Amino acid sequence: MFGFLNVYKPVGKTSHDVVAVLRRVTKIKQIGHTGTLDPFAEGVLPICIGKATRLIEYLNDEKAYAGTVLLGKSTTTYDIEGEVVNTSDKTVSLDEIETALNKFKGDIEQLPPIYSAIKVQGKKLYEYAREGKEVKIEPRRVNIKEIKVLNFDKENRLLELYIACSKGTYIRSIANDLGEELGTYGHLVKLVRVQAGNFGVNEAIKLEELNSVEKVRENLISPLKYLDYQQYNLNDEEFEKVSHGNQIFAQQPLNDGTIVLVRDSELVAIAECSAGKIKCSKVFI
């Protein structure tokens, strides 16, 4: 079995839980995911099955989320699972929110939550936090392509945001930092990943529906659908050479860079092209 699955991760499951479920169903060990989601979050989780795990690095890794922020309280984890550490009765207007959001657009420096899996000196940040130890956290540069208000319930102080961003962006940190920028505190109470690269939430299949090998096969997606690179169709002679990992020379104009080698509409290899010379990076036959 070889390909991708667009799985909708439910609340309460970790990304590793989803992989474990699919391993039990398919009896395949070689299964991986792209882009971890916290247990309280839900939404798109791309899954790679079989040799498709070797394609993770070639997938578009931009993300988009719908996140709900509760204003007036901040927590230790920046989300609903933490303990409340600050409160404020200050109310804010939609105009104030939209003005504040301008500071979160484009390239920004972001401090990851202390309760995160980022490692400092070989140890995860949340391990330091649980031990009550302070550790210096370095800011990370991330890109916020788009951030906008989807809905604002002023009475209940609930703010729903759409955020399109680069890999490694912490939506929890945005919720916390936005609350501080507004002078009213805030934390994330709901998070739905609506896009992961080319995987969209509208096409995602619920994990509970993938309850048999047949269901998994039925929903398996060809890697060619989501690999955003120029394709090169191999003839018989080229296919034979590539199958042995040998380089070939393009018979048509190609741009330099990563290319996808195809035979009969099936992925054969990922390769690098330079001045017409094609050298295989990963072969899948």
**Where in the sequence numbering do the catalytic residues fall?**
38
Question: What proportions of the chain, in percent to the nearest 5, are helix, strand and coil?
Answer: 25, 40, 35
Give the pairing of strands 205-206 and 3-9. Answer: parallel
Count helices and strands in the chain by DSSP H and E runs: 6, 19
Among residues 234, 257, 238, the alpha carbon closest in space to that of 246 is found at: 238
Phi first, then psi, for residue 97 (nearest 5°) are: -65, -50
Position of tokens 């002078």? 183
Smallest CA-to-CA distance from 186 within 172, 166, 200 is with 172
C-alpha distances out from residue 78 to 173, 175, 200, Å:
6, 7, 26
DSSP state letters, 37-89: --TT-EEEEEEEEGGGGGGGGGS---EEEEEEEEETEEETTSBTTS-EEEE--
CA distance 99 to 192: 24
**Which residue type, as a one-letter code, is found at position 279?**
K
